[in-house]
Structure 1
Amino acid sequence: MISSQPSVIEHIDFTSEAERIRSLVATHGSPLLILDCDAVRRQYRALSDALPGVELHYAIKPLPHPAVISTLMQEGARFDLATNGEVDMVAELGLDPARTIHTHPIKRDSDIRHALDYGCRTFVIDNPDELKKFIPYAADVQLLLRLSFRSPDAKIDLSKKFGCDPAVAMALLQQAADWGIRILGLSFHVGSQCAEPTKHVEAIRSCGGIIMQAEALGLPALSIVDIGGGFPVDYQDKVQPIDTFCAPIRDALAGLPAGTRLIAEPGRFIAAPSMTAVSSVMGKAKREGRWWYYLDDGIYGSYSGRIFDYTHYPIDSLDFFGERSSSVLAGPTCDSVDVIEDNIMLPELECGALIVGRMMGAYTSATATDFNFFRKAEIVVVNDAVSEEYNVVPLTA
């Protein structure tokens, strides 16, 4: 099975968003996550326009849903895999393995073999022990060396757990050459939800220096630079438009050696705007002068990103008229930590009122649980289309 949640495809043209939401809730109940494939297309195309010449590999982790994969397959996207489950998902959807890379820096031997059996040939390493695992597969693989560039301004610093210090890159490249393992290029990920592109630029320039240094030492040529992800989206605060954010990145990429193959691993940027969460008020109570509204979705469900992803989502009631006062939105479980927002301005609501969370595509359903036996929100897919075949050049030396 490629998804543990039901997925219903809707082909309905509603005159307003509120009408669409009410109709879907009437049909499917709540809680609900509405996955809009048009938003996936818009985000993919916007980033493609902002990074011309960069091959976009969608990072499946934030929203591993078949409709997202199929939509991006239609767009000609490539894909970033990190686990056996993700390999299985794209394999079941018929994705050509030439359109994939496997980017988890730490893998079991069985993980390597599983990806190879599927047909994925490009992997990522960041240390000598991981490099050693590829000795038996040297004739079948090509590797990217992941570098670490710490980014304190990122929402989540992805260079803390993975990546090697650029200062030891030459030693790893030499070790790979000694063992007959082909390292094809360099990769990095400066962090998630970056406010500025400064660290991307620094990392790209450092990669350029390593490429030239490797050439000077007579090591095998490095022909790929993978700039990872981190491209920001609007939650409660506005971020730079993507074309503005990417302008310095484009300039830095232009400084790499001619012919360098450029790839990126966007996840959140593509996924986040694609889903809207809809939940219902199950009950209400006035506590210390404020209304508490208890929803049928919460921190252990679609709003799991409040904990795991440190994200405050744009949230409002579907009926937003009336005098507003400081209120609390709580989830349905018996756990006191299950509070979505503890100071949100809302009109007085009644049981059955609908609460809408926006920008809910990334790290929400993917990290939701069935804790306390409250079911996960059903995902309803709208604006879906039939998949088509695309021919994409694989990563080769």
Structure 2
Amino acid sequence: MAIAHSVLDFQSYSSSALSAQESQLIQTSVDQFGAPLLLLDCDVIRQQYQALSRALPNVTLHFALKPLPHPAVVQTLLAEGASFDLATSGEVELVAEQGVPAERTIHTHPIKRDRDIRDALAYGCKVFVVDNINELEKFIAYRDEVELLVRLSFRNSEAFADLSKKFGCSPQQALELIAQAKTWNIHIKGLSFHVGSQTMNPQKYVDAIETCRDVMQQVVERNLPALSTLDIGGGFPVSYNSQVMPIELFCQPINQALSQLPETVQVIAEPGRFIVAEAMTSVASVMGQAERDGQIWYYLDDGIYGSFSGLMFDDAKYPLTTLNKEGEWLPSVLAGPTCDSIDVIAENIMLPKLNNGDLVVGRMMGAYTSATATDFNFFKRAQTVLINHQNIAQERLIG
């Protein structure tokens, strides 16, 4: 299966994506570290976190580690005052190692093993998510220690990933779970949802918030313990090869819907992609080339099984460019280094004639790239190089 990019998209990014300063940084990094590389700019992480914080001023942001679980990302966001969304014991270990206070974390995987619960509790994370009776029953043994969120399902076929396909329950099922939790003396703290990754329409959030508000009202009417928290998930969109709505405009209707909740309800969110997608740039070099069926095939030292794994797993369309833009532009293919024919990054694109060793650059490569990369065929994953990084956690330990 090949992943195609249109000629127009590639040429538009190729002509304007890199400034002279960026090109120099990329070349200097390759000269020092070799290729392939992933350049992680921590200033971009700060900027994105601050932008979303301004757009959702009354929402506590718990960064979801899943798209880029890198220590430098945790350190940078911890210094910004962020909280964190965890889903596995490995993620618990990561934030614990970086000195994240446990009270600034939640554990949101709806399906957990007993040891996953115990690992999180040993760290000090006490807020968990459930969406079914089997999961709720797991917390009977820990009912004096935990606070639970019940996750509702809101299907979204328009999203990159419809995250309600696999998890979440109906409003009626949520009410039944909350009633059962009362019988078992388990504290239900609130509700949660996720409308899907890379959601383009803020109305999806509005509809979900309004449904959750209705459920909260029904909880009160049924004389069940009032709910104090609403987790609105993540899914805030970023621009790959097409522009999305500016985040401040995107969040306006969401804020309006949130203002209709009871004043006692605390609102949290789980942004991931929005924080890190723009923060990483990939750099691959041409290993070799061949002419096949009227196109020049360029074989790079990074591909589908490496940093471009998101082309398979995430349906992302990364902006691509080259440092060399001189010479005749020719129909071309960008392929990865492995011996698997599925390892093709882009087909039917126009490129300037490249030489072995020339560099191909991918933008918007922070989310679901290195996190889902493999060592298939024993090609090592791209090395991550940090830019504008301040190791706040390490400085605190030294001090």
For this structure pair, what is the TM-score category when the shorter chain's length is used for normalisation?
over 0.9
Deviation at 1:15? 7.1
Match of 2:187 in 1: 182
**Cα distance in 1, alignment partners of residues 388 and 262 from structure 2:** 41
Matching residue of 1:328: 333
Distance across 1 between alignment mates of 2:87 and 2:258: 25
Shift of 1:259: 2.1
| Number of the residue aligned with 1:91 | 96
SS in 2 for 1:16: helix
Select the residue among 295, 298, 302 that pairs with 1:297. 302
Match of 1:382 among 381, 387, 397: 387
* Counterpart residue number, 1:356: 361
Q: CA deviation at 1:31?
A: 0.2
**CA RMSD across the alignment:** 1.2
2:232 is matched with 227
2:66 to 54, 61, 64: 61
Q: Which amino acid aligns with 2:164?
A: S
Q: 2:273 matched to 1:245?
A: no
- Is residue 121 of structure 2 the alignment partner of residue 116 of structure 1? yes
Determine helix, strand or coil for the equivalent of 2:392: coil
Q: Does 2:57 correspond to 1:47?
A: no
1:140-181: per-residue Cα shift (whole Å, max 9, x none)? Answer: 000000000001111110000000111211111100000000
Residue by residue, what CA displacement relative to the aligned partner does 1:86-134 show, whole Å, maximum 9, x if unpaired? 0000111111000000000000001000000000000000000000000
Q: Does 1:23 find its partner at 2:28?
A: yes
In the alignment, the residues of structure 1 paired with residue 198 and residue 348 of structure 2 have an alpha-carbon distance, to the nearest angstrom, of 24
Q: How big is the shift at 1:385?
A: 1.3
Q: Which runs of 5+ in 1 are unaligned?
A: 1-13, 390-397
Alignment of 1:66-215 (within 5 A): 66-215=71-220
The one-letter code of the counterpart of 1:344 is I
Kept in 1: contact 2:228–2:266 (CA 8 A)? yes
**Partners of 1:84 and 1:136 in 2: how far apart?**
19
Amino acid at match of 2:72: A
Provide TM-score, normalisation by structure 2.
0.93
Partner of residue 6, structure 1: none
Paired AA for residue 18 in structure 1 = S
Q: Match of 1:347, as an amino acid?
A: P
* 2:346 paired with 1:346: no
What amino acid does structure 1 have at the position aligned with 2:34? Answer: G
The more displaced of 14-23 and 268-277 is 14-23
CA distance in 2, matches of 1:208, 1:322: 60
Within the alignment, does 1:373 sit opposite 2:368 as a pair? no
What residue identity is the alignment partner of 1:171? E
Task: Give the aligned residue type for 2:221.
Answer: A
Cα deviations across residues 188-230 of structure 1 (Å, max 9, x unaligned)?
Answer: 0010001111111000000100111101111011010000001
Instruction: Give the deviation of 1:85 after TM superposition.
Output: 0.3
Stretches of structure 2 lacking an aligned partner (at least 5 in a row):
1-18, 395-399
TM-score, L = length of structure 1:
0.93
Paired with 1:344 and 1:244, the residues of 2 have a C-alpha distance of 34
CA distance in 2, matches of 1:370, 1:208: 46
Offset of residue 388 of structure 1:
6.2
Distance, in Å, in 1 between the alignment partners of 2:208 and 2:76 is 31
Rounded to whole Å, the distance in 2 between the matches of 1:360 and 1:345 is 21
Is it true that 1:257 corresponds to 2:235 in the alignment?
no
Give distance in 2, aligned partners of 1:233 and 1:320. Answer: 27
Amino acid at match of 1:144: L
Q: Does the CA contact (< 8 Å) of 2:326 and 2:353 recur in 1?
A: no
The runs of at least 4 consecutive aligned structure 1 residues that moved more than 3 Å come to: none
- Structure 1 Cα separation of the partners of residues 66 and 174 of structure 2: 27
Amino acid paired to 2:186: I
Q: For 1:321 and 1:49, locate their aligned partners in 2 and report how far apart those are by CA, in whole Å.
A: 42
In 1: Cα distance, 2:327 partner to 2:46 partner: 36
2:294 and 2:331 in contact (8 A); partners too: no
Contact 2:72 2:391 in 1 (8 A): no
Look up the equivalent residue of 2:90 and give its one-letter code: G
